[in-house]
Structure formats: C-alpha cells, structure tokens
Amino acid sequence: MGRLRAVRGNGRIWYRICRFRKTTLPFPRGTSRMRILHLSVLAFAIVFSSMATAVDLYSGAAEVPAQGDAERRTATPDALINVLQKQSGRWDIPLEPALESALADPDALLVAFQYREDQILRPGGLTEDRLMLVASFVPAAVDRLVREMQLPRWRPQREPVVAWVVVEDNGGRELQPVEYEDAWAAMARIAELRGLPLAWPELDEELRQSLDLQLLWGGYADQLLASGAATDGVVIIAARREGTEWNVRFNWEDGDNVAAWRTRSTDLVQALVDGTHQLVDHVAAAHSIGPAGLVATRTSMRVTGLESADDYAKVLSYLQDLGLVDDLRVMGAGPDGVRLDVALNADASYLAQAIRSDGVLEAGDQPDQYRLRRPEREPAVPLEPGSIDAPPADEAGEDKAPGS
C-alpha cells in the first residue's frame, strides 16, 4: 500500500504544470468553475512517481498454519493459483486440464519460498497474526501455463490506482477517517493479493481542510486525473451508513475508461472488499490482452530524439522490460535514430497501445517511428495558498448522495 504526498515549501504548494482536462460530465447545479479548479489543483498538488510500480507476478502467497514441509506442500498449489490471479486479473481461475497437471506437482515449477507474518488489522486497533507462504515459480513455466489455459494477460507494468474515500456517518463527512483503518488495510490487502498497486493521497491538515468533500462525494473522478500522472486512474469511494447497512458507491476513471458500481453490507469492511474486487476487475480488463491477441509477432520500429548514450540505454531498457517483448535486436543506429527489430508475444497493436499509455516514447511522423519524450523543462510555478481557498457559502452546489 502506497501513499502519495503533497509537497510544500516556504508556505506554498508546489506542483507540476499540467494541462487542465475539459470535462464532459454535467456538474451539479450551482457548482462554480472555481470550485472545479479548486479540486483539480489539489489533485495536481500530489506528486506522482514517474515509474511503474513493481509487482512480482511470479510469486504467490497462501496462508499456512505452520512452517513444516507438509504444510508448505499443501499451501504451494494455492500460491501457484495466486500467481495466475495476478497474471490474468481474474479472481476465479478455471480448473483446466493444464492447471490440474501443474497442481499435481507444483514443486516442479517452484524456484524458492519463504515465510512472512502478516498483521491483520481488526476493529478497535486489534491485530491478528497470519503466517503466509510466499512461493516463487519459474517465469517461463508460468507463462506457458497462462497460454495453455488461454487466460487473459494483464500488462506487467502497473501504475497505482489512487483511492479517495469519503465516509458519511452520523451526519458528518470525512476523508478516510482513522477509526476505519482496518477497512483501508483490508482494501490494500485484497488489491496486493490480486496484483493491483493501490495508493492513498496523504494530505497535511491545511490541505485536508481546503479539500472540497462535496465534489469528492459527487464522484467526479476526472477532476482528480492530472495530465501525465503515472497512475492507472483514480477511484472515488463514497460510503454512507443507512441504518444498519453501509451503502458504498465506487467511481473509477483512468482517462480512457469510466466505471461505477455499488456494494452494500452491514459490515463496512466487507462492502469495501467487495468493491475492491470489482475495481481490480475493471482495471485488469482495461489493460489486458485476450487469448486471441496472444500470438507471436515481429515488428520493426525507429526511435529518434536520442541525444546521448544514456538516452539510448533508456530506450533499450524500457522496451526490454515490457512484458510484451521477447527479444530486441538493434539493426542500425545513426543521426536519424536507432532501428530495432522486436519480437513480441502479442499482436503488435498492443505494443503501440503500451507505448501510448506509458509516456516514455511518443509517436513520430511515420507509423513505425517514435521519439523519446522529453520531460517538461519549465520551472515549477508556486501557487499561493489563498488561490485555493474554499468558495463562499452561497456558491455551494447541490448534494449528490450515494443513493442518488
């Protein structure tokens, strides 16, 4: 579980220059553009990592009662299934003949294993210790098993989804209240188990006070999407207690995809865990290659804009680290760039899609040409704290409750 921090200096909020996105969502009547800008600025105050979050897709976890060899052998098949869950994004893994064969002797695929103790948070600040087996498997064997089972392939380069949670209880609303820390820990545990990096915004008290909870409650996730930010989107979670039941609404958007869903339960943790499973389903589906696209192909490309040996190494390292790339050969290099022959394990269209999404390269003048993208060189602009003050009370927009 990660946290994204807002950075302050000399009493000012410093943020990267980003293009404000034009929203197509209808705003509640009475919601001013200043308030929309206000929420956007808070999003841009978050400094995101520029690198994808590393997820170990060839190691799986399973609970064990003890560290004996018999217990380890019993739990290893579950750890292998967990690897397939992270690889494919699917929680329910079908028991295909290829999987049955692998589960009959999972030690044949096993590389190494270790144990860890997880502390599970419970209500009231209590913790429960849980012993976990962490088993690593041969990557080539796992890849072959995924292909034989015709499972979708979730891209290995995964950015965090940033979760903003607003809770309404006893008439008041609060951003991620500390008294429900066990619920946030349960969400993070499920996301990690399924291979989704999940991050939380971490704001100091001044930023928390200036945050417009009404717009967050409305689920306008697009207003929290900073252009060029290294994330797989934003999810806004609005949870309201209605009698003995929790009504929870999820709104996820990543710039290209939008989804909304609801969960209900008398237990907030259960409602959030159910919703987190659906979040992983949506994110994985948006960034997966189906069985039809998993075919061996070759393509050629030319990359320009390389000004140094470091640039050259950066491009090669980026392409070699893509899960789509099986082999990479340099066919020539000169003032017009470097020419590459690339062996892929999927249709070439997925390589173009990954390049567009990752932002390391940008399209050139020809279909097979790319340029190394340069970071923004303009200096950061200080934003005066007074410019993001909350609007006057008479500009307040209409409420948007989970049930509406």
CA pair distance 21, 39, nearest whole angstrom: 12
Tokens 């989704």, residue located: 196
pLDDT of 230: 64
The DSSP output letter for 267 is S
Among 171, 254, 237, CA closest to 200: 237
Tokens 């993208």, residue located: 373
Tokens of 369: 């040409």
pLDDT, tens only, 8-58: 333 222 222 222 233 333 434 444 444 544 554 455 444 343 344 568 899
Among 90, 60, 96, CA closest to 75: 60
pTM, two decimals, is 0.69
CA pair distance 127, 235, nearest whole angstrom: 27
pLDDT of 8: 33
Confidence of residue 326 (pLDDT cuts 50, 70, 90): confident
CB 265 within 8 A of CB 274: yes
Question: Between 69-88 and 97-104, two packed helices, what is the crossing angle to 10 degrees?
Answer: 150
pLDDT, tens only, 119-153: 887 776 678 899 999 999 999 899 889 988 989 98
Q: State residue 51 phi and psi, 5-degree precision.
A: -115, 150
pLDDT of 375: 67
Which domains, ranges and CATH numbers included, belong to the chain?
A: 2-18+28-48+156-288 (3.30.160.100), 59-154 (no CATH), 295-372 (3.30.70)
Among 63, 55, 15, CA closest to 381: 15
Query: Does position 288 have pLDDT exceeding 50, yes or no?
Result: yes
Tokens 């098949």, residue located: 77
Between residues 83 and 292, the one the model is more confident about: 83
Residues in the chain: 404
CA pair distance 160, 1, nearest whole angstrom: 9
Q: State residue 113 phi and psi, 5-degree precision.
A: -150, 160
CA pair distance 122, 269, nearest whole angstrom: 10
Between residues 389 and 112, the one the model is more confident about: 112
Query: Does position 108 have pLDDT exceeding 50, yes or no?
Result: yes
CA pair distance 183, 275, nearest whole angstrom: 12
Tokens 């088993």, residue located: 135
Confidence of residue 311 (pLDDT cuts 50, 70, 90): confident
- The whole-angstrom distance between residue 319's C-alpha and the CA centroid of its chain comes to 21
Which of 188-192, 209-213, 337-341 holds the top average pLDDT? 188-192
CA pair distance 339, 300, nearest whole angstrom: 7
Between residues 397 and 126, the one the model is more confident about: 126
Query: Does position 381 have pLDDT exceeding 60, yes or no?
Result: no
pLDDT, tens only, 198-220: 998 877 777 777 777 887 888 77
Tokens of 203: 């704001």
- Looking only at the bridges linking them, the beta strands covering 325-334 and 337-344 are antiparallel
Query: Does position 400 have pLDDT exceeding 60, yes or no?
Result: no
Q: What is the mean pLDDT of the chain?
A: 78
Sign of the alpha-carbon dihedral angle for 389, 391, 397, 403? positive
CB 125 within 8 A of CB 289: no
Q: State residue 5 phi and psi, 5-degree precision.
A: -100, 145
